[in-house]
Amino acid sequence: MSVADVDRTKPELGPDPARWPDVVGVPSGPAARLGAPVAAHLFRRAVERLDLRVEYPDGTTLGAGTGDAPRLIVHRPDRLARRLAADGLIGFGEAYMAGDWTAPDPAAALTPFAASAATLIPRPLQALRPILLPGQPAAERNSEQNTRSNVSRHYDLSNDLFALFLDETLSYSSALFDGRPARWDTLVAAQHRKIDRLLDAARVGPGTRLLEIGTGWGELAIRAARRGATVRSVTLSAEQQGLAQRRAATAGHADAVTIDLLDYRSVGGEFDAVVSVEMIEAVGYEYWPVWFATVDRVLVPGGRVALQSITMPHDRMLATRNTYTWMHKYIFPGGLLPSAEALERATAETALRTTDRFGFGADYAATLRLWRERFTAHAAAVADLGFDETFRRMWELYLAYSEAGFRSGYLDVQQITLTKDGSPR
């Protein structure tokens, strides 16, 4: 099932089995039935050590949290256990989508899980990960044949949907608050601060020939054009391309900004600078060297690259890189968060040299909090666009799950500057 298949003609009153088969249906096979008691035991054992309160229908409360600790409320423990037994963390996410568990503040409830991600599952079971958990489908590998479909399933959902929770810049990446208050009325300035830091790092100014890989909705391209740059931006989202072109024209920069519906591997030409914001997470492990080789090919000697990327610990990336997750199934098919070390290794056969790294993960937690609050507040408008309650719960979990990763420090976001100088290593 693809969320891109959502019928936008009318809001749904409840989950549609045809649309959400694994949410409406509860696993009933041998693995679910026989494994449920074990899964329930492991879940209870895990949460006993976490700083939260897990509440069950019979009045049982587990967890090391006291007082105002985050609450996770299990409404249907048997169903949760069967989902965990059959599908692991995919089942945990589907249990939230189905209402088997809820939380007054899901980001707060998930933060202790994220903080303990490396030790939450007993080590012997971690070793069985390749056997017990499914691998990523071949159809979602980010080859040139598959990438357009992967991108479309997320970014072509609806421009109107994204506009409901993003600020007026339509920036769908971490803002840079830089120690300033993180509020809705400061978000636009923080997004521009993020963009300007990248453009400064790439030394974008009058006459710069700039390549942007991953257009978004065009704010960076417009801001670069205002500096006097000539911008070529590439995207695989038709929805984003159309709106970004209209925004560039409205801003008076249609002549300076070209936006192509094109895979990054097919880019030709010669550029003084390359900028890419949170696109490399969609490239895939096996294609990171290809991405950097492409940048190296089109960048002039002495040119600069400014890259913004979410990162995760290297050992966790290696342990999970082949695992099919809830995030893959429902949000970002084919994606993988890199580690800083993996990105560095991916440049090994190029002339690109890392000259600066700047991390600001706490600012991403704040950005996601603002998006999630806005998305939740606009639930009725989301429904009016034709997205049903299950979709809304799915996206609430996605935003909360991501926020928890940054809150806990498990995830970071970095701006990385590279310079092309010398011959390949």
Number of Cβ within 10 Å of residue 281's Cβ equals 16
Per-residue pLDDT tens digits for 66-124:
989 999 999 999 999 999 999 999 999 999 999 999 999 999 999 999 999 866 666 66
Tell me the β-bridge partners of 232.
211, 258
The owner of tokens 């342990």 is 319
Domains of the chain plus CATH, in order, are: 3-134 (no CATH), 139-420 (3.40.50.150)
Q: What is the pLDDT of residues 251-296, one digit of tens each?
A: 999 999 999 999 999 999 999 999 999 999 999 999 999 999 999 9
**Buried-exposed string 320-337: b where 16+ CB fall within 10 A, e elsewhere:** bbebbbbbbbbbbbbbbb
Burial class (CB in 10 A: 0-12, 13-18, 19+), 207: exposed
Alpha carbon 106 to chain centroid, angstroms? 17
Query: Where on the phi/psi map is residue 262: left (φ > 0), alpha (ψ -120 to 50), or beta?
Result: beta
Number of neighbouring beta carbons within 10 Å of residue 355: 13
The overall average pLDDT reported for the chain is 93
CA distance 346 to 416: 13
Question: CA 242 to CA 159: how far, in whole Å?
Answer: 10
How high is the pLDDT of residue 46? 94
Mean pLDDT of 352-369: 98
Check pLDDT > 50 for residue 424. no
Helices (DSSP H) in 166-281: which residue ranges? 184-201, 219-226, 238-250
Quick check: helix, strand or coil at residue 326?
Answer: helix
- Give the rounded distance of the alpha carbon of 96 from its chain centre: 18
Q: What is the DSSP string of 14-72?
A: S--TTT-HHHHSPP-SHHHHHHHHHHHHHHHHHHTTSSSEEE-TTS-EESS--TT--EE
> Residue 166: how many CA atoms within 13 Å on its side-chain side?
18
135 secondary structure, DSSP code:
B
Residues recorded for the chain:
425
Run of H or E including 108: helix 106-115
pLDDT of the residue at 131:
59
What are the distances in angstroms from CA 315 to CA 87, 277, 287, 404?
23, 24, 19, 19
**Residue pair 227/199 in contact by the 8 Å Cβ criterion:** yes
Q: Is the pLDDT of residue 8 over 50?
A: no
278: DSSP letter: S
The pLDDT score that the predictor gives to residue 1 is: 36
Q: Residue 403: is its pLDDT beyond 90?
A: yes
Residue 4 has pLDDT above 50, yes or no: no
User: What was the pLDDT predicted at 5?
Assistant: 43
Q: How far apart are CA 201 and CA 177, in angstroms?
A: 17
Tokens read off for 229: 């740059």
CA distance 268 to 12: 45
Write out pLDDT tens, residues 122-179.
Answer: 666 655 555 566 777 888 888 888 898 999 999 999 999 999 999 999 999 999 999 9
Residue 95 CA to residue 103 CA, distance in Å, equals 12
> What is the model's pLDDT at position 277?
98
Q: Give kind and range of the element (H or E) at residue 304.
A: strand 299-311
For residue 50, pLDDT beyond 50: yes
d(CA 258, CA 211): 10
Cβ partners under 8 Å of residue 157, min gap 6: 3, 4, 6, 239
pLDDT tens digits for 336-350?
Answer: 999 999 999 999 999
In angstroms, rounded to a whole number, what is the distance separating the alpha carbons of residues 74 and 76? 6
The secondary structure of residue 323, as a DSSP letter, is B
Of 144, 129, 138, 35, give the one whose Cα is nearest residue 83.
35
- State the amino acid at position 361 in one-letter form: G
Q: In what order do the strands lie in the sheet with 257-261?
A: 257-261, 230-235, 209-213, 271-277, 299-311, 412-420, 352-359
Q: What is the pLDDT of residue 129?
A: 57
